[in-house]
Amino acid sequence: MAGYESVIGLEVHVQLATSSKLFCSCPTSFGQKPNANVCEVCSGMPGALPLPNFQAVHFAALVGMATNCSVRSRSVFARKNYFYPDLPAGYQISQFELPLCEHGYLDIMGDKGKKRIGITRIHMENDAGKSIHAQHENLSYVDLNRAGTPLVEVVSEPDMRSPAEAVAYLKTLYGIVTYLEVCDGNMEEGSFRCDANVSLRPVGSETLGVRAEIKNLNSFRNVQRAIEYEIGRQQDMLDDGKRLVQETRLYDAVKNSTAPMRSKEEAHDYRYFPDPDILPVEILTEDLEKWRKELPELPQERARRFREMTGLPEAEAEVLVQSRGLADFFEAAAQKADPRKVANFVLGPLLRECHARGLAASDPTQWGMKPAGLAELVHLVDKGLISAKIANDIFGELLLSGDMPETYVTAKGLVQISDSAALAATVDDILAANPAEVEAYRGGKTKLMSFFVGQVMRATKGKANPALVNELLESKLSGS
């Protein structure tokens, strides 16, 4: 990359989780029979009158407030004209000159520490339907169930300088819209997807280079890889002395490459004009104030608070807040037991077992374990009733079954042996069985301590209280 700097700006489409569409009352439910959720408005019949969904405006305004934008009390829907088979009206209803939100920013962890990424605007628009090409050799089908679903498009400034910064920005935005509960966050179903604009320019240059726009990336991994590939491709072109053209490209995850789709259209190609069928959206000041008060604690503030509670480093606190479900679970358990110890169980065994057992780490309703169960497990280890190792070993079972830890370890006979008389007998047996090691230890090979501890642990199947074992061994080996 010597000589060039990469410049990235993202356009993110966030599907709003309203129950009905943006301009009609058809349901937004996913996975229905094709064209089941369709009426004259969302199928673009001439003369049908669209009526904005106030819930969608509310959700969109929350996204704006949470991303430090100013939210307009008066915004205007505009027609964006283009032809595509899955766009039955021949235009998309979007916002152009007066979008709902503008001039925001997000703070992210950039390549060189904290970094502020500008948000140019957030506008509302309706989604298109879907063309289906795979079902027939030479016919295409159109499914309009998605047509009219409310979206916000969050447009960033070209402030990112690497694929990692683009992903960090996206994850921050994703955290916000899912915490707000205005988006279901299902990236596979396209509820959160992004177009990545990528260009290169000579290091030190202030002017922007020619950009390619990579359409519809629907996973963080694809965003990372598509941008990496695109930077490499543009670099090669420039190194070969070729000229780049402004164009729209598609990313192929299987081939891990991008290919041209069409030359990039300019805004004037769309012939935007205010939609004469829809009145400007007016929001009362009192509604805006009410909505602002509704904003929940967002991931970054929550991570800061969790760091104070636990003393954990930033990266780990961020894992705890990566979903609202996981953060709520942690916080409920941390009210009943030492927060740092609870966090260690969440970051270690809990995430590991979710992964191993195919449970969503973001959705505690899928697990048997409740916050009280995790807190009790922490107490069992604290009280020396079970060892940390056993707690770790049984975690998966407890997570799945939801059994309360104390009942479980008692029933399974896993309670630690903290009875010194019983342990003393075992220690005596071990010393008697290993006279050579005892002599070597007394002769100065004190490293053998771990050998003796290991033997006692083995004899007790890991149930001996380690502190007590060490104490007993030390006194017996130093004595006669």
The residue count for binding ligand ADP (CB under 6 A) is: 17
**Piece of the chain touching Mg ion by CB under 5 A; list 3-11, 80-88, 302-310, 363-371:** 3-11
Q: How far is the CB of 343 from ligand ADP (least distance, A)?
A: 36
Amino acid at 454: G
Per the listing, tokens 């935007």 go with 272
Q: Which tokens belong to 376? A: 């009790």
Counting Cβ atoms within 10 Å, is residue 411 exposed (0-12), middle (13-18) or buried (19+)?
A: exposed
Rg, C-alpha atoms of the chain: 30
Encoded one letter per residue, x for contact with Mg ion by CB under 5 A and - for no contact, window 4-43 reads: -------x--------------------------------
- Binding partner selected for residue 24 from ligand ADP, Mg ion, Zn ion, none, CB under the kind-specific 5 to 8 Å limit: Zn ion
Using CB under 5 A, count the residues that bind Mg ion: 1
When asked if residue 22 is in the footprint of Zn ion (CB under 5 A), the reply is no
Helix/strand/coil for 415: coil
Report which DSSP code applies to 160: B
State which residue, 172 or 323, has the beta carbon closest to ligand ADP: 172
Rounded Cα distance between 427 and 445, Å, is 18
**Total chain residues near Zn ion (CB under 5 A):** 5
Residue 41 or 124 with smaller CB distance to Zn ion: 41
Question: Token match 């008697």: residue?
Answer: 432
- Least gap, CB of 378 to ligand ADP (angstroms): 46
Q: Which is nearer to ligand ADP, 152 or 198 (CB)?
A: 198
Minimum separation from the CB atom of position 165 to ligand ADP (A) = 12
Q: Which is nearer to ligand ADP, 159 or 318 (CB)?
A: 159
167 binds Zn ion (CB under 5 A): no
Residues 186-205 that bind ligand ADP (CB under 6 A): 197-199
Q: Which residue of the chain is nearest ligand ADP when measured via CB?
A: 9
Considering only residues 5, 86, 157, 247, which one is a binding residue for ligand ADP as defined by CB under 6 A?
157
Amino acid at 105: Y
39 binds Zn ion (CB under 5 A): yes
Taking the least distance from each CB to ligand ADP, the nearer of 155 and 374 is 155
For the bound state, the minimum distance from the C-beta of residue 116 to ligand ADP, rounded and expressed in Å, comes to 14
Stretch that binds ligand ADP, among 81-89, 155-163, 224-232, 454-462 (CB under 6 A): 155-163
**Phi, psi angle pair for 71, to nearest 5°:** -105, 125
Q: Degrees (nearest 5) of the Cα angle 262, 265, 270?
A: 130
Judged on CB neighbours under 10 Å (0-12, 13-18, 19+), 373 is buried
Q: Is 26 in the site for Zn ion (CB under 5 A)?
A: yes
Q: Comparing C-alpha atoms, which of 203, 272, 217 is closest to residue 248?
A: 217
Which residues does 109 contact at the CB level (< 8 Å), separation at least 6?
A: 115, 168, 314
Strands 247-252 and 212-217, bridge-based pairing: parallel
Nearer to Mg ion, 45 or 208 (CB): 208
CB 201 within 8 A of CB 208: yes
Smallest separation, CB 100 to Mg ion (Å): 18
Contact 88, 114 (CB under 8 A): no
Query: What is the dihedral sign for C-alpha 434, 439, 444, 445?
Result: negative
Nearer to ligand ADP by C-beta: 196 or 359? Answer: 196
249 binds ligand ADP (CB under 6 A): no
CB burial of 72-107 (b: ≥16 within 10 Å; e: otherwise) equals: beebbbbbbeeeeebbbbebbbbbbebbbbbebebe
Please report whether residue 42 would count as binding Zn ion according to CB under 5 A.
yes
Question: Does the protein bind Zn ion through residue 278 (CB under 5 A)?
Answer: no
Question: Is residue 99 involved in binding ligand ADP (CB under 6 A)?
Answer: no
Residues at the contact surface with Mg ion, assessed by CB under 5 A? 11
Binding site for ligand ADP (CB under 6 A): 7-11, 155-158, 197-199, 208-209, 211, 213, 267
